[in-house]
Amino acid sequence: MSRTAFRIPAPPEVVVAPARLLGQVVRALGHRFPPSDRLFTQMHNVGNNSAVFISVTLGFLGLILVYQGCVQTLKVLPDLSGVGAAFIFAMVRTFGPTITGMMIATRVGAGIAAEIGSMTVTDQIEAMKVANSDPVSYILGPRFVSCVVMTPILWVFGTLVGVLFGYLMGHWRFGIATQTFLDLGLVSYHDVVIGFLKALSYGIVIPVLAADAGFKARGGSEGVGWATTTAVVNASFAVIVLDFVISTLSFLLGY
């Protein structure tokens, strides 16, 4: 009777290809860092151009969370003093980085995929290769660095906006005192680190997944549409999975 050896299943292509691309871009950046003008253009695109979008989204999220938190709390307790601290804790640790990541996945990820996809289907990528320019370094390099730098900054910015709007709701609609609402008692140094790690990891995976979809675009406008949709779906899914993985790991490690 033959014995079947246990084999670890090979990871799916949807994981392997972006991982390979991540390795390529890190190597390319080590070899040649993008020039400052192209880097600042991309940072402006990722950061400044996303700021309003993220402010509005996290602002509304803050309003909704505090409103619902207060309404539900009042059903069982006449005391709203813990709402602000719990809300700020949730914003710093989970909602701030993850909703920021989702918004960057949709706005920036879609943009990167459409841009690279359009270059792929119009042979611009091949024109770069034949000119001895590395498309991963030239196109993805500045976008990758910009996302890695700007996502944590947008996390801080978005979280502050969300907390501000949550405070406005709690203070003006439910009468929670400023000092009571803006209570940082539940937020520890570890929560800030975990929020930062989440934002950083989103900043790493979003441009890579988007670029991977863009480089795989085939055909014409249909291929660009496919790349854009794939980038948004994969990047959004990756944000949720990373949120879960980092949260679970931090829980298991006691943070």
Partner 1 sequence: MEAAAELLDIRKELSGTRVLDGATLSLAAGRIHALVGPGGSGKTLILKTLCTLLPPDSGQVVLFGEPVDFLAPEGLRRTRARIGVQFQNLALFDFLSVRDNVAFPLEADASAAPPQDVERRVLAILDAVRLPGAAALEIQSLSGGMQRRVAIARAAVSDADFLVFDDPSGGLDPVTTSRIFALISEIQARRRCTVVIASHDIDRLARVCEDFHVVEGGRVIFSGTLAEGRNHADPRVRTFLDVTDART
128 binds partner 1 (CB under 8 A): yes
The residue within the footprint of partner 1, chosen from 17, 39, 82, 124 (CB under 8 A), is 124
**For residue 12, is it left (φ>0), alpha (ψ between -120 and 50) or beta?**
beta
From the list 123, 237, 244, 248, which residue makes contact with partner 1 (rule: CB under 8 A)? 123
Residues 52 to 71 in contact with partner 1, rule: CB under 8 A: none
With binding defined as CB under 8 A, does residue 222 bind partner 1? Answer: no
Torsion sign across C-alpha atoms 13, 14, 16, 22? positive
**Candidate ranges 16-24, 128-136, 183-191, 242-250; the one touching partner 1 (CB under 8 A):** 128-136
Out of 10, 52, 76, 131, the only residue in the binding site for partner 1 (CB under 8 A) is 131
Q: Find out whether 78 and 60 touch, Cβ atoms under 8 Å.
A: no
> Residue 200 CB, nearest distance to partner 1 (Å)?
28
Helices 49-76 and 96-104: angle between axes, nearest 10 degrees: 140
Decide if residue 2 touches partner 1 (CB under 8 A).
Answer: no
Q: Report in angstroms how near the CB of residue 55 gets to partner 1 at its nearest.
A: 28
| Residue 13 binding partner 1, by CB under 8 A | no
Check residue 138 for interaction with partner 1 (CB under 8 A): yes
Tokens 């969370």 correspond to what residue? 65
Kindly state the number of chain residues that form the binding site for partner 1, as judged by CB under 8 A.
13
Comparison of 84 and 111: residue with beta carbon closer to partner 1: 111
- Quick one: 129 or 173, whose CB is closer to partner 1? 129
Dump the DSSP string for 130-188.
HTT--HIIIIIHHHHHHHHHHHHHHHHHHHHHHHHHHHHIIIIIH---HHHHT--TT--
Q: DSSP string of 175-217? A: ---HHHHT--TT--HHHHHHHHHHHHHHHHHHHHHHHHHHHT-
Angstrom distances, CA of residue 194 to CA of 15, 24, 198, 204 = 23, 27, 6, 15
Q: How far is CA 80 from CA 26, 90, 111, 253, in A?
A: 48, 16, 42, 31
Instruction: Please identify which residue in 126, 173, 193, 248 interacts with partner 1, judged by CB under 8 A.
Output: 126
d(CA 69, CA 81): 11
Residues 168-207 that bind partner 1 (CB under 8 A): none
Nearer to partner 1, 67 or 138 (CB): 138
Contact with partner 1 (CB under 8 A) among 36, 68, 81, 133: 133
Q: How far is the CB of 115 from partner 1 (least distance, A)?
A: 8
Binding stretches for partner 1 (CB under 8 A): 119, 122-124, 126-133, 138
